Chains A and B, each alone.
Chain A
Amino acid sequence: MASIPDTVFFSSLGELSAKLKAREFSAVELAKAFLDRLERLGPRLNALALPLRQEALRQARLVDRDLKKDRPKGVLQGIPYGVKDLLAVTGHPTTWGAAPYAGQVFDTDAKVVQKLEKAGAICIGKLAMVELAGGGGYRFAAASLTGPALNPWDRSRWAGGSSSGSGAAVAAGLVPFALGSETSGSIVTPAAYCGVTGLRPTYGYVSRSGAMALSWTLDKIGPMARSAEDCGLILQAIAGKDADDPGTAGKSFYYAPQFARPFKDLKIGYAPADFEAWAQPETQPAFRAALAAFKSFGCQMVEVEIPDFPYGPVLQTILGAEAGSIFEELIASGQVDKLADEKQIAGLKATQGILAKDYLKAMRIRRLIMNAFRELFFKVDVLLAPARNSVASKVQDPLDAVIVPKATPQSRGLQGLTPATNLVGAPALFLPCGFVDGLPLAVQLVGRAFSENTLLAFGREYQAQTDWHRRQPKLPA
């Protein structure tokens, strides 16, 4: 049996694929090595919901057989990965991170799991998440069936949520990539806090069939991985129309950043205030360096400001109304009281008081927001901003403490970009861009719908010039 060097745990998809094809190790050996690591370190980070050893090894044997018979399937063939525990895997508990659903078992794989299996990737585990993806609003990192997900860079810090285990597991080298989901912030936060690359695809690119629904008009599934390139390769495998998800757009995705327009023809919109007044003082040097790196690509830099809308109330009303309907039975039955976070319980109960007129008004304002962003994306091709204004919070700290800069900034910059662009359904790429006190920071690039290749081209160039995405946390032996 080939020994697997530790460097493999932080290799890119291309590197792993090349080693598999060169028979440096088999798919079974690779899956075993990652499973051992996931089972050993996953629980110490509260990142693991359920290992899938037997199924993974069975599938890895099939991959080895295909490789032996020279039946290549692409770069994902034989690559282990993990999924957020809101995605169904046949015959195993899919808990949605929540006690009331601890025994829930589905008889069909989620569509994305089926697609990845078809591509030859091997699901080795379900990864921890904030209960019900945080739909009711939660106050503490401990709002999860598996406890607070710990940040691999500093275990006194939170990994972010709600795709907590996905972020932590990729950062710690427990899986080469993972799937997460975002309704409003659930990929960007763990990607930024854990220092991994995340891609929130355009709404409708990826089927959500077999995934927990939190908000039909906001939910997206996307990859969290080592690089922009890896995210592109994963999106290529999971995107596409699905009759079982009426939200799918009917478009396939082909990762081809080489065909994106030249950078000199592209315009990046940014707001200086985001990198100065809005960012926490200790984060500003890293954010400014990232901005300078993007400026060096030769793009036209355009100062912009986010259109003025009440994003918070609009998003909270739409999300609350849809989640309140989806979880109506949970709330009415009183099972909601079994959740771990009191604020989450209260928030879900309060959704039952959202009126139809509130939802309709929010959806009408959402139309105006979409129109405003369409106009904004006539002026610029992408928006660049810090992904989060600060580093990961301490595990025990309340998450609803609002950090407002001491001196109120004169410009609203692009603050509110996360709820705004989730309402719009726009894609976003999250890129590690530095560290403060050993904790990662990230920037985000947001583009118009279905412009993922442009975002990925920027991401690939940025990551060719920097090595933030290649940094590795020191983990307990």
Chain B
Amino acid sequence: MSKKPTRRQWTAVLTAAAAAPVAAQAPPGLVDQARQAVERNREVLTNYKVPMAVEPAFRFEA
């Protein structure tokens, strides 16, 4: 639990508070930046190891 997170991890946590993709500064290329954010998210998810038996939270019950 005491593993020190990287600056990039902090940024991911903090930007998640707003319901928003990370991306975006000023134009031009806002769509490209938003797509890059999707790519960055994909990379994080791909690299996150999940046991094969874990099912998606479709039957979602709080």
Contact = CB atoms under 8 A, between A and B. Distances in A.
* Chain B associates with chain A: yes
A353 B57 contact: no
B37 A316 contact: yes
B21 A353 contact: no
B22 A316 contact: yes
Contact of A137 (B9, B24, B54): B24
Contacts of A425: 60-62
A236 interface: no
Nearest to A415: B13
Interface stretch (A282-290, A395-403, A434-442, A454-462): A395-403
A358 interface: yes
B20 A400 contact: yes
B37 to A, nearest CB: 7
A134 B30 contact: no
Contacts of B40: 313
Contacts of A400: 15, 18, 20, 22-25
B26 to A, nearest CB: 8
A259 to B, nearest CB: 21
A313 B58 CA distance: 18
Contacts of A351: 21, 38
Given A134-B18, A346-B33, A412-B13, A320 B38 contact: yes
Interface residues on B, range: 35 or more
B14 A426 contact: no
B56 A203 contact: no
B56 A350 contact: no
A363 interface: yes
Interface stretch (A36-44, A111-119, A366-374): A366-374
Interface residues of A, number: 73
Interface string B1-33: 111110101111111111111111101001101
A183 interface: yes
Given A134-B18, A185-B18, A368-B50, A313 B23 contact: no
A189 B2 CA distance: 29
Contacts of B44: 310, 313
Interface string B36-58: 01101110111010100011111
A176 interface: no
Nearest to B56: A363
A408 interface: yes
A88 interface: no
B14 A316 contact: no
Q: Tell me what chain B mostly uses at the interface: helix, strand, loop, or mixed.
A: loop
Interface string A132-145: 01111111000000
B56 A354 contact: no
A312 B23 contact: no
Contacts of A138: 20
B55 to A, nearest CB: 6
Which residue, B4, B16, B44, has most C-beta atoms of chain A within 10 A? B16
A333 interface: no
B2 to A, nearest CB: 8
B7 A310 contact: no
A180 interface: no
Which residue, A310, A319, A345, has most C-beta atoms of chain B within 10 A? A310
Given A186-B19, A312-B16, A364 B54 contact: yes
B20 A137 contact: yes
A450 interface: yes
Contacts of B56: 360, 363-364, 366-367
Given A347-B20, A347-B23, A408 B57 contact: no
A311 interface: yes
Contact of B12 (A312, A399, A424): A312
Leading 3 A-B pairs by shortest Cβ distance: A137-B20, A425-B62, A312-B16
Interface of A: 133-139, 162, 183-186, 189, 202-204, 214, 217, 247, 249, 305, 308, 310-317, 319-320, 342-343, 345-347, 349-351, 353-355, 358, 360-368, 370, 388, 399-400, 402-404, 408, 410-412, 415-416, 418-419, 424-426, 449-450
Given A184-B19, A350-B35, 5 more contacts: A185-B17, A350-B21, A350-B38, A358-B42, A364-B54
17 contacts: A133-B19, A135-B19, A305-B1, A308-B3, A311-B16, A345-B31, A346-B24, A347-B21, A347-B37, A349-B34, A350-B35, A358-B45, A364-B54, A367-B56, A388-B17, A400-B23, A412-B13
Interface of B: 1-5, 7, 9-25, 27, 30-31, 33-35, 37-38, 40-42, 44-46, 48, 50, 54-58, 60-62
